[in-house]
């Protein structure tokens, strides 16, 4: 655990240093680019694991990380391209979000099974997440 905290501190310090030296855009580009590529590699690793062992957890993780790579990659490309209008309201982003959410739902299902819960209680945190998103959308609407 100590190693993880040191890694978090070093990574945060590095991003803050890049931000201070080169500006927000450089730090954003480095961060989004790195997490997009790392997420895609993690997704491929979990996809391979699912292929080898066909576990629902590995499939859920592959989908979640592929969705993360896609969503982060979308925002990274959006920023690099100068926020093009064609991407600003494009529904393709929702396909990427759907991939990420589907993986999360599979993951919640596996966690429920691992906890020995028999009923579909894993739907409750998912419903709460959507309710929080809906509330934020309603109360922050311009």
The number of domains in the chain is 1
Answer yes or no: is 24 within a domain: no
18 domain-assigned: no
- What span, in angstroms and rounded, lies between the C-alpha atoms of 17 and 31? 13
The residue segments making up the domain with residue 86 are 38-139
pLDDT at residue 71 above 90?
Answer: yes
Residue 79 has a pLDDT of 92
For the residues 4-22, what does the mean pLDDT come to?
97
Q: Please indicate, yes or no, if residue 12 is contained in any of the structural domains.
A: no
Question: What does the DSSP 8-state code read for residue 1?
Answer: -
Q: Say which DSSP state 119 is in.
A: S
- CB-based burial label for 105 (10 Å; 0-12, 13-18, 19+): middle
129 assigned to some structural domain: yes
In a domain, 17, yes or no: no
DSSP label at residue 90: -
Assess if residue 120 is contained within a domain: yes
Q: Is residue 121 situated within a structural domain?
A: yes
Q: 27 to each of 33, 37, 114, 117, how far by Cα in Å?
A: 10, 16, 39, 43
Mean pLDDT within 119-141: 88
Give pLDDT, residue 133.
93
Residue 142 has pLDDT above 70, yes or no: no
Tell me, yes or no, whether 98 lies in a domain.
yes
């Amino acid at each position: 655990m100590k190693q993880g905290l040191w890694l978090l501190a070093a990574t945060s310090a590095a991003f803050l240093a890049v931000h201070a030296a080169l500006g927000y855009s450089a730090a954003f580009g480095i961060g989004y680019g790195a997490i997009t590529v790392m997420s895609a590699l993690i997704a491929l690793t979990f996809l391979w694991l699912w292929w080898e062992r066909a576990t629902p957890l590995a499939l859920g993780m592959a989908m979640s990380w592929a969705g993360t790579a896609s969503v982060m990659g979308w925002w990274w490309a959006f920023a690099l391209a100068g926020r093009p209008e064609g991407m600003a309201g494009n529904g393709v982003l929702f396909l990427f979000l759907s991939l990420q959410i589907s993986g999360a739902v599979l993951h919640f299902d596996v966690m429920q099974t691992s906890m020995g819960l028999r009923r579909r209680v894993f739907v409750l945190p998912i419903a709460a997440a959507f309710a929080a998103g809906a509330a934020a959308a309603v109360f922050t609407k311009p």
